[in-house]
């Protein structure tokens, strides 16, 4: 029997080049990019090597762009989940827009994979104090689990007092959702790729614990550097954006895979759907509700 403690592994399945090219205003931003399948395959091969499974939070438009790659992920044993359709931050949408964006992603994922997602993660962890209604809509759409909370200082107006382990979020209308917050250690966000490239390894090791959530992106696993292509006659601002994004994302390239290998020696890495029973046994009585001020109590 595997006695290692468990970490919950999640991946945001989105094409870095498409999102950056959209921001840069390129007209052809949504064209499939050859680097993306290479990144995903590097990641899938690493997960095989580590005997790990992951929950893939899939962007609907990415699924529509790469249906075969999406099917391969599921065929290789990983859980399809929703990251919305167009990667628009939740607090930039009205309720109706949010609902139709999420619904569209669910339909696209179900159509391509044959599986209806039950876990959701907001783009850029953007369910905030201003958008508590998002949880109600997720519950109405049939989701059982949310993983949009991350107590990171980079997320403005984030929900207050986010626990560091899974818990039941009781909605004001009555039902409950499982919340799987991304791992933090005290005030330090340690669950994500950006921090894994910057923080010292011993600190990450010390901060991890049973049933904490890790999250990464496919672009963090390919050997080739990321390079945004500028639109014709770019403005200085577009140039700065392209350079800034590439520098930030290329710093520490290779470190994430190396550290995940180290972590996998001490922890079992599994997708959410493989852990629900264990999580329910251990955390089923931990319930929180959101106060008027957007703080968990």
- Give the footprint of Zn ion on this chain (CB under 5 A): 12, 14, 123
Residue closest to Zn ion, measured at CB = 12
CB of 83 to Zn ion, least distance (A): 6
CB of 145 to Zn ion, least distance (A): 17
CB of 242 to Zn ion, least distance (A): 19
CB of 123 to Zn ion, least distance (A): 5
C-beta closer to Zn ion: residue 123 or 181: 123
- In angstroms, the Cα distances linking 150 to 55, 182, 185, 214, 257 are 17, 5, 11, 11, 22
C-beta closer to Zn ion: residue 123 or 192: 123
C-beta closer to Zn ion: residue 6 or 82: 82
CB of 53 to Zn ion, least distance (A): 20
CB of 96 to Zn ion, least distance (A): 22
Token pair recorded at residue 263? 């972590």
C-beta closer to Zn ion: residue 42 or 86: 86
Give bridge partners of residue 6 from the DSSP assignment: 268
CB of 130 to Zn ion, least distance (A): 19
C-beta closer to Zn ion: residue 126 or 184: 126
C-beta closer to Zn ion: residue 123 or 207: 123
C-beta closer to Zn ion: residue 196 or 283: 196
CB of 178 to Zn ion, least distance (A): 20
- CB-count exposure of residue 225 (10 Å: 0-12, 13-18, 19+): exposed
Token pair recorded at residue 106? 């669910």
C-beta closer to Zn ion: residue 57 or 167: 57
Picking from 47, 65, 19, 72, the residue whose alpha carbon sits closest to that of residue 246 is: 19
């Amino acid at each position: 029997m595997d006695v290692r403690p468990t970490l919950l592994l999640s991946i945001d399945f989105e094409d870095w080049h498409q999102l950056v090219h959209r921001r840069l205003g390129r007209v052809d931003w949504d064209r499939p990019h050859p680097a993306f399948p290479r990144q995903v395959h590097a990641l899938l091969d690493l997960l095989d090597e580590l005997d790990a499974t992951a929950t893939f939070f899939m962007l609907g438009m990415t699924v529509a762009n790469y249906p075969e790659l999406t099917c391969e992920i599921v065929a290789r044993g990983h859980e399809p989940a929703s990251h919305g359709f167009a990667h628009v931050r939740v607090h930039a949408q009205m309720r109706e827009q949010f609902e139709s964006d999420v619904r569209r992603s669910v339909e696209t994922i179900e159509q391509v994979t044959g599986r209806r997602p039950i876990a959701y993660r907001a783009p850029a962890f953007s369910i905030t104090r201003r958008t508590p209604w998002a949880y109600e809509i997720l519950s109405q759409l049939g989701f059982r689990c949310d993983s949009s909370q991350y107590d990171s200082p980079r997320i403005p107006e984030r929900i207050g007092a986010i626990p560091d382990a899974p818990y039941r979020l009781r909605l004001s209308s009555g039902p409950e959702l499982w919340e799987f917050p991304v791992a933090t250690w005290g005030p330090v966000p340690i669950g994500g790729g950006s921090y894994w490239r910057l923080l010292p390894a011993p600190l990450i090791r010390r901060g991890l614990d049973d049933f904490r959530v890790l999250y990464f992106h496919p672009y963090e696993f390919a050997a080739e550097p990321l390079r945004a292509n500028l639109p014709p006659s770019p403005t200085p601002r577009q140039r700065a954006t392209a350079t800034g994004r590439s520098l930030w994302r290329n710093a520490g390239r290779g470190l994430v895979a190396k550290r995940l290998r180290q972590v996998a020696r001490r922890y079992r890495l599994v997708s959410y759907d493989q852990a629900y029973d264990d999580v329910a046994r251990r955390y089923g009585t931990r319930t929180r509700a959101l106060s008027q001020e957007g703080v968990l109590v």
